[in-house]
Structure 1
Amino acid sequence: MANENGEQLDRRGFMIGSAATIGAAAALVAGSTELKAASTPANAATTGPQATAYTGDVIDGKKVVTSLDVNELEAGQTHRLYFQGAQAPTGQHWHVSVTVAKGARPGKRVVLTSGVHGDEMSSIHTVHTVMNQLDPTKMSGAVMAVTDISRPALESMQRRWPNQGRGLDLVDMNREWPGNENGLTAATRHAGLLFNRLLRPNADAAIDFHTGTTGFEVAAFNIGEIDRPEVKAMLDLYPVSQILNMSKSAYPTVLHNAFLDVGIPAFCPEIGAARVLDREMIALFVEGTMNVLKHYGIVDGPMGRTAEGMAVFVGNSGFPVLATAGGIVEHLVKLNDKVVPGQKVAIQRDSFGEVVAEYTAGVAGEISGQRSDAMSEPGNPLLFILFNKTAQDGIEIYPE
């Protein structure tokens, strides 16, 4: 994403103050290229399902697998397994929860993922709620849910994977896809194992659920390429009023784009604030996801609410408003509010209560995210405005 001075920023800057994923202050350069181990390509695994491989271990009554083919699971049942991921420094493995609702009849397979970032609770609850509504005896195909992809990040409810390579290094798992089973960090190896042996082989379509990050909340919106007919069909099934239309080429290393890279239609919902359960927003995305499962013929029943009849705002960029001072932030607009250039959107006061900064919108659009922490230091994103930028201005990053 470029700021108003034309500088390029890391997509993380859209969502986090220290760095979505940007305006008047300095920012980080987008996604450094990860070194790859020479011995094995990043995606050396299969292009289709591998045979299910059990380790023989059982954790809390659930069998452990190192690869999975949902076609081999018994039909008409819900299966709960652990997938063996990368090893922790102690030599034990990070085990990832896998739930498969295997329909009684053949059909499409949809993969639902969450927990790529460890502070995103509403995304996890959304997937849990969908899975708890499914009755495999009345389904076709299969729905697979993986809700704790970045296990070490979830253990402390923080955004990034705490990698122990050269001292503590916080790795954003959504810069690692499709991963590399022989890569230089545990996080990229974990991503490679998951993508090659669990996610990709079992998906005809995929949805990767996220929220805002700690200290920054977002509106209910979806990120996806509307020029891809299968993706557009899914986006239209959600009763949310914002879409960020983002090209895969902007950030190929995020999970839903890794699916797109191998021909699997995918997109990314964004569900409010981190570290909390926003039940009102969750309900919207549960309804939309059930619509997607009906769209693919996995479950029966009438469609719920969709985008039809809604005033959906579609933008291709996010304009950042970054703090230029430290102090307490007072927002003058709310999520989903329309703004125009020059409109005052926030003010900031110091410890004496004096106004030290005022912030205005630089574009016409809708508020898609705002800082939820009441204090800010210079450089933190205060707001993001979803808007449409012309093609000649280049590709923008997206918030997630």
Structure 2
Amino acid sequence: MNRDHEEGFDRRDFMIASLGAVGAAAALMSAPALAQDATTPKAEGGTVFTGDIISGKKVISTLDIDTLEPGRHFFYFQGVQMPTGQHWYVSVAVIKGEKLGKRVGLISGVHGDEMSPIHTIQTVMAALDPAEMSGSVLAVYDLSRPAVEDMTRRWHNSGRGMDLIDMNRLFPGNENAPDAPVRHAGLVFNRLLRNNLDYAIDFHTAATGMDATSFHLARMELPEVREMAELYPIDHIFDNVAYPSILPNALIDVGIPSFTPEIGRPRIFDHEMIPLFVEGTMNVLKHHGVIAGEIGRTGKDSGVVIGDAMAPVITTHGGFVELLVELKEKVEAGQKVAIQRNTFGEIVAEYTAPRSGEVLARRTDATCEEGMIILSFLFDSTVPEGGDQIVE
């Protein structure tokens, strides 16, 4: 499970709503210490400064927000070492209020091709005034730093001949694993996140080659998660556990309610969707008393549709795909939704919706290999086929 080599809108297993158990590789990497590193200091409380300064920002190897003075703080967090012996550094900001209160984390860069989350968090952080805040907001901008540098979804790990590692299959990580990305996940999780947060929001987008509506992946059976997720004026909420080793699940496992907003297309700043997620995030901060003010628009205003299952359309051939439906469009089971042609323009396949639902994701690349998801439909599995889908 911690090696996901599928391209496209990379939530394939839970789109089909058929989740497997954690694979043996993931279990191995998240097990107790597998390699010894006596030089790695242990996180025992207190912010640890390495003594280094990069571009005027102090470098830390452990964060303890309680030790910081009220105000704005900018750091580079020292992540795992590169093959050259230098470190990957994660950009971190903390805004700490004058009064005690809840601690909220805003996280981006788990996948390196997702730009709108970074812009969303930058916008929220710029709007906060520590003199008027209670509690704190921790921003992590580029958690998977090498992936962000390359604007690729996955971490290019040289440990086994340049593996492509999806960081969002590795949490909570293991600081002593024989694998750099897993160690990095453990460092970030243990020394930056888990001891500094009461709530967390892990922002993402669709993967390269795909587009999606404004939606959340959220475990709606958890009351505190549901309360936060419904504060966003978005299109859809996918109520699903997803992979066990994604960051929100790892945070939930240690008592930190968390969920995943998905902000449209990858590799760009989606200026139509970003304001929706900024407004929703400000609503969350107001809800938790971090900032004052009236709650803005929420899911009730946008008519958010909540579904607990995905029905994908998967290609049976390679070729050029013409999609016949748009994002948010309602479809009926059996409706023709895509045509595929070969290089001569001959039709090699026609695709229909496997069941009724709303279009949540669609492929943007015209070419497609066989076995790839080109469309995904959100639906409520508790509603019989032909019944009205739940709108909340």
Q: Fold-level match, TM-score > 0.5? A: yes
Deviations 1:9-45 (A, max 9, x none): 99958x834971369x9x9977533324876389xx9
Say which of 308, 316, 331 aligns to 1:316.
Answer: 308
Shift of 1:241: 2.1
Deviations 1:85-104 (A, max 9, x none): 10000000101000001111
Partners of 2:381 and 2:136 lie apart in 1 by 39
- 2:243 aligns to what? 251
Residue 60 (str. 1) matches residue 52 (str. 2): no
Say which of 201, 217, 231 aligns to 1:223.
Answer: 217
Residue 342 (str. 1) matches residue 334 (str. 2): yes
Partners of 1:11 and 1:364 lie apart in 2 by 31
Residue 155 (str. 1) matches residue 146 (str. 2): no
Say which of 289, 304, 325 aligns to 2:296.
Answer: 304
- 2:386 aligns to what? none
Residue 37 and residue 107 in structure 1: after superposition, are their counterparts in 2 closer, same or farther (change >3 A)?
closer
- Contact in 2 for aligned 1:118/1:160 (Cα 8 Å): yes
Residue 16 (str. 1) matches residue 10 (str. 2): no
Shift of 1:341: 0.5
Deviations 1:174-206 (A, max 9, x none): 000000000121000000000001011110000
- Contact in 2 for aligned 1:17/1:379 (Cα 8 Å): no
Q: What amino acid is the match of 2:7?
A: I
Residue 343 and residue 10 in structure 1: after superposition, are their counterparts in 2 closer, same or farther (change >3 A)?
farther
Shift of 1:377: 1.3
Deviations 1:79-124 (A, max 9, x none): 0001001000000010100000111111100001010001001111
Instruction: Tell me the SS of whatever aligns to 2:124.
Output: helix
Partners of 1:10 and 1:350 lie apart in 2 by 34
- 1:357 aligns to what? 349
Out of 320-329 and 189-198, give the one that drifted further: 320-329
- 1:166 aligns to what? 160
Instruction: Tell me the SS of whatever aligns to 1:384.
Output: strand
Residue 244 and residue 28 in structure 1: after superposition, are their counterparts in 2 closer, same or farther (change >3 A)?
closer
Say which of 269, 274, 282 aligns to 2:266.
Answer: 274
Of all paired residues, the percent bearing the same amino acid is 54
- Contact in 2 for aligned 1:221/1:270 (Cα 8 Å): yes
- 1:5 aligns to what? none
Out of 319-328 and 90-99, give the one that drifted further: 319-328
Deviations 1:110-165 (A, max 9, x none): 00101000100111111111111111111111000001000111111000011111
Residue 28 and residue 228 in structure 1: after superposition, are their counterparts in 2 closer, same or farther (change >3 A)?
closer
Partners of 1:209 and 1:10 lie apart in 2 by 19
Note the aligned Cα RMSD (angstroms): 2.7
- Contact in 1 for aligned 2:2/2:165 (Cα 8 Å): no
Residue 260 (str. 1) matches residue 256 (str. 2): no
**TM-score, L = length of structure 1:** 0.88
Shift of 1:49: 7.7
The size of the alignment, in residue pairs, is 375
Residue 183 (str. 1) matches residue 177 (str. 2): yes
Instruction: Tell me the SS of whatever aligns to 1:155.
Output: helix
Q: What amino acid is the match of 2:367?
A: M
Partners of 2:185 and 2:52 lie apart in 1 by 22
Partners of 2:86 and 2:13 lie apart in 1 by 39
Instruction: Tell me the SS of whatever aligns to 1:280.
Output: coil
- 2:130 aligns to what? 136
Partners of 1:12 and 1:298 lie apart in 2 by 37
Residue 74 (str. 1) matches residue 69 (str. 2): yes
- Contact in 2 for aligned 1:11/1:30 (Cα 8 Å): no
- Contact in 1 for aligned 2:29/2:182 (Cα 8 Å): no
Q: What amino acid is the match of 1:376?
A: C
Residue 312 and residue 285 in structure 1: after superposition, are their counterparts in 2 closer, same or farther (change >3 A)?
same
- 1:284 aligns to what? 276
- Contact in 2 for aligned 1:218/1:272 (Cα 8 Å): yes
Instruction: Tell me the SS of whatever aligns to 1:328.
Output: strand
**TM-score, L = length of structure 2:** 0.90
Partners of 1:195 and 1:221 lie apart in 2 by 25
- Contact in 2 for aligned 1:107/1:298 (Cα 8 Å): yes
Instruction: Tell me the SS of whatever aligns to 1:279.
Output: coil
